[in-house]
Amino acid sequence: FLFSRAFQIMVADGSLEVLRVLANASAVIAEGEVMQLETLNNVELPEEKYLEVVSAKTAALFAAACRIGAVIASRGSVEEDALESFGRNLGIAFQLVDDTLDYSEHQATLGKTVGDDFRECKVTLPVLLAYRRGDDDERNFWRRCIADGEQGDDDLNKAMEILQRHDALQDSIERARHYGAMARDGLGTFPDGEAKRALTDVVDFCIERVY
């Protein structure tokens, strides 16, 4: 719906370049949905493939939004590319933090449900890291709970223990920080000022947020 509404607005605006950016983003996101369906419940998914899916979904939307800002402001291809890179890396960082929040104690303090991704058998980066680092019993646990969708009452607690044991949550955050740093680097072409500080603040919030 949001993409359809965006297309309506851009048609009214008459910007063919913005329409091109939106069309490309729509195609990439659709491809990402297909990739996600192909890898559904696959706890053996390589980390690189998971990041490819994230890049084609969440990050593609962030990248398009940032590039369109430069297009509308008539900033030129160098700054368009820089903002697109910023948005893509910010989007990846955002998603990786989101992956960890599902297993975070902060969710309960904010009145939110812990473990929704787990109950929905979603493969996220913390699960992939814990699976890769786990022993045979732990890997069988993830196969049963995520791949087969067979979960018991205490399985969420066990999942959180395994994630902590293998530093899967902390390492996911470290990867998010890496992409956050790449997003900041993408702003190097812009002069210091209020707008640039606002964008770096967005990166900081994205990494440190607890909701």
DSSP 104-164: -HHHHHTTPPTTHHHHTT---HHHHHHHHHS-HHHHHHHIIIIIS----TTHHHHHHHHHH
pLDDT for the residue 1: 72
Exposed (0-12), middle (13-18) or buried (19+): which is 81, by Cβ within 10 Å?
Answer: middle
What would the mean pLDDT of 139-152 be, rounded to a whole number? 97
Helix then strand then coil, % of the chain, to nearest 5: 75, 0, 25
Query: Is this structure's pTM higher than 0.85?
Result: yes
Average pLDDT of the residues of the chain: 92
Q: What percent of the chain has pLDDT over 70?
A: 93
pLDDT for the residue 3: 66
Residue range of the domain that includes 62: 2-208
| pLDDT greater than 90 at residue 150 | yes
Q: Is the distance from CB of 63 to CB of 89 less than 8 angstroms?
A: no
Q: Which of 107-116, 126-135, 142-151, 170-179 shows the lowest per-residue confidence on average (mean pLDDT)?
A: 107-116
CATH number, domain containing residue 46:
1.10.600.10
| pLDDT greater than 70 at residue 38 | yes
What is the distance between the alpha carbons of residues 50 and 71, in angstroms, rounded to a whole number?
Answer: 30
Q: How many domains does the chain have?
A: 1
What is the distance between the alpha carbons of residues 27 and 5, in angstroms, rounded to a whole number?
Answer: 16
- A 10 A CB-CB count for 44 gives 13
